[in-house]
A and B are shown apart, each in its own frame.
Chain A
């Protein structure tokens, strides 16, 4: 059996429920490479807030687990190279839980495919302190585990305001429980039509368990562009700190400062990180700022404003509409762009994904409770 865990934190193994940390969630004293050679040799100087809270609640940190470089999806290599060891480790029973950062949907998709689940919480409910940043306005630590009930249990341990992260809601803690209210499921027919027959069928059967309503996801056709432009802009800015000067990897041959910068990055950044950096620099450059970055920000706001939570409590989406990773990004863009919680799992053999209004994780839990006996 593959072990998946990069380096066990041996002293903490052996008792209690074990939690693996994606390589971007910092455990003091362990490397935190975010899957990148450029962070080679960097040792986390402090614990992420989620880690502190887990340890305070007597959870054990099993160790660090491999990931896509900075969580960026494999677009150039068409998805075949995605590293989602966190999902594999949970699925294989190596650990009970894995904490990850899933902006692009790599974990939300693969969890459903591998028969486990992934809970991406509302932006601003879980502290980003101690998370290697990729796109700060969308980064959000979530939970992979076998059972959604357990996901919510672990989320209640790690969620709650942390003054060290300025983007959080004020609530100090959250209690997740089933609501008595009848759920209304919003079904975006136009999106569903792009999925294969099996997925369509399982989503229809899922919706049949509740009151459901047809709805339109406005701007869905540009979700992926907006997500990719904004994440590249933010990621490019978060990558500039890796310059070989202070920590992490440094090229061994250089004659001057510029060569030190260039060679370090040439040698240590992977192809997707380079692409994101170049894309980000491009959309933030003076001539492209308004037509790309600012426009994407405007559409992001329109996307948020176009949602009609109230007419429905949950939007149900497939986890795959295409073999092309870039096309599939659209399915996972809504949660990070609008800061919404999302739960994905396998239903009737197909991956489905539920998105609820901000801080309404309870609707996700209620929906799960409603169907968990017939998955």
Chain B
């Protein structure tokens, strides 16, 4: 029998605001435990919730880039349950009037293009984090409490893991380019729960559904979907296991899902509009203002890069595949107006250095003015490319000013052909045997000569000039 996997996604994305959703605390990731915490974050009485306008604006931006229908009067509502990571006993979310509904995102897989429909997007606050220590101690960190999120709820439109991954990559591109979120799965600023069920192909009835949580990379998501859909099929086929509706965690190290909790008889969350948060009216003017100020999306940028700027499709694809690289490209080309050259530097050199130090492309932070200056120094032959590459590492890691560093360490290119010829003469004289081999037709020793001459000149000569002069002397 043929089976079909049916999946729907709930994607949580942290909004790129400076402060939290309902208080003034910093929303930044990576602070010490309970550092970004005020009395409200700790659930203490006395601080009225006040909505962060920027979070609503980012919610509107998310609605725009996902082709959603924006709700004109939105509410913030309380969802009540008791858990120690929820200091007030309620989460402020959007239950009655979410920011938008009925959006869609187009994804492209090997099977072609497909529209994924979205049920809704709502804005809500995150909960704190529990850290379990030993058998009987749990600690709670409220840094994440009230950090603003949007939850993007899709329709059950996914049939393959490839579609899921393509969708998440598309969402990441749309949301990072719109400045809504940095969407870093490793840091938890993008999280994805997969609702999955399996049915006979062609059937219109849905099978028993499980929800998979705790996957923090696209690879893990693909693996979890593969594992879980096989588990479902085996249960239907072999019947050694009865499927129940439940929430399952993903254990990345053993490559299996495990039961976290069975779906309780629908918990009563006592939803009601937060009485101290007035409904917010979203006007046409407000939406238009956000729409016209949205940064260029990746797709449009790709067209501009390949068209107007004449970059190869490969280069354009890499640069517009990451908001960080794309921003770096925009910034450096403001100061160094040779886009093709800049793209080469970014793709070959900058990414090379980042990979060497195990950094993802979105973790790269570089002073783009200094980066541009460095490219300029190479381009106008103040230094040679090899030294330029070395300095790029230092710009990235230590933030050196390349011009100052070159002057201070006397790294300027040796242009004097007399000096270069003298170095060539010495090297050839010291390696008479190799010269003889070259003359017998061994081309390989040529590279050995170039290397030795460059070393002699402290790496500062123009390799092209060295080549030319060397050929002349070898004749």
Q: CB within 8 Å of B: which residues of A?
A: 26, 32, 34, 39, 42, 44-46, 48, 128-133, 135-137, 163-167, 233-234, 237-238, 240-241, 243, 245-247, 257, 261, 281, 284-286, 289, 293
Q: How far does the Cβ of B47 sit from chain A's closest Cβ, in whole Å?
A: 7
Chain B interface residue bracket vs A: 20 to 34
Q: Contacts A26-B46, A34-B45 given; 16 further ones with Cβ under 8 A? A: A32-B46, A128-B48, A128-B276, A130-B47, A165-B50, A166-B51, A167-B276, A234-B275, A237-B89, A237-B270, A247-B44, A257-B84, A261-B82, A285-B268, A289-B271, A293-B272
Tell me which residues across on chain A come within 8 A of B39, comparing CB atoms. 45-46
Decide: A233 and B272 in contact? CB cutoff 8 A: yes
Decide: A164 and B48 in contact? CB cutoff 8 A: yes
Tell me which residues across on chain B come within 8 A of A130, comparing CB atoms. 46-47
Q: Name A34's closest neighbour in chain B (CB-CB).
A: B45
Decide: B44 and A45 in contact? CB cutoff 8 A: yes
> In the complex, what distance in Å separates the CA atom of A374 from the CA atom of B271?
52
The binding surface of chain B is classed by DSSP as loop
* 14 A-B residue pairings within 8 Å (CB atoms): A26-B46, A46-B39, A133-B46, A136-B48, A136-B274, A165-B50, A166-B276, A166-B277, A233-B272, A237-B272, A241-B44, A246-B43, A261-B82, A284-B270
Tell me which residues across on chain A come within 8 A of B87, comparing CB atoms. 241, 245-246
Decide: B272 and A167 in contact? CB cutoff 8 A: no
Q: Answer yes or no: B71 CB below 8 A from chain A CBs.
A: no
The A-contacting residues of B in range 258-284, CB under 8 angstroms, are: 268, 270-272, 274-278
> In the complex, what distance in Å separates the CA atom of A98 from the CA atom of B35?
36
Decide: A164 and B50 in contact? CB cutoff 8 A: yes
> In the complex, what distance in Å separates the CA atom of A371 from the CA atom of B272?
44
Q: Name B273's closest neighbour in chain A (CB-CB).
A: A297
The A-contacting residues of B in range 261-313, CB under 8 angstroms, are: 268, 270-272, 274-278
Decide: A243 and B44 in contact? CB cutoff 8 A: no
Q: Answer yes or no: B323 CB below 8 A from chain A CBs.
A: no
Decide: A166 and B78 in contact? CB cutoff 8 A: no
The A-contacting residues of B in range 86-105, CB under 8 angstroms, are: 87-90
Decide: B268 and A286 in contact? CB cutoff 8 A: yes
> In the complex, what distance in Å separates the CA atom of A227 from the CA atom of B88?
24
Q: Answer yes or no: B429 CB below 8 A from chain A CBs.
A: no
> In the complex, what distance in Å separates the CA atom of A45 from the CA atom of B42?
12
Q: Name B266's closest neighbour in chain A (CB-CB).
A: A286
Tell me which residues across on chain B come within 8 A of A132, comparing CB atoms. 45-46
- A interface footprint on B18-32 (CB within 8 Å = 1, 0 otherwise): 000000000000000
Q: Which of B43, B140, B278 contacts A241 (CB 8 A)?
A: B43
Decide: B275 and A137 in contact? CB cutoff 8 A: yes
Decide: B89 and A42 in contact? CB cutoff 8 A: no
Decide: B46 and A48 in contact? CB cutoff 8 A: yes
Decide: A129 and B272 in contact? CB cutoff 8 A: no
Q: Which of A39, A137, A240, A245 contacts B90 (CB 8 A)?
A: A240
| Most A CB within 10 A of own CB, among B82, B84, B88, B272 | B272
> In the complex, what distance in Å separates the CA atom of A234 from the CA atom of B78?
10
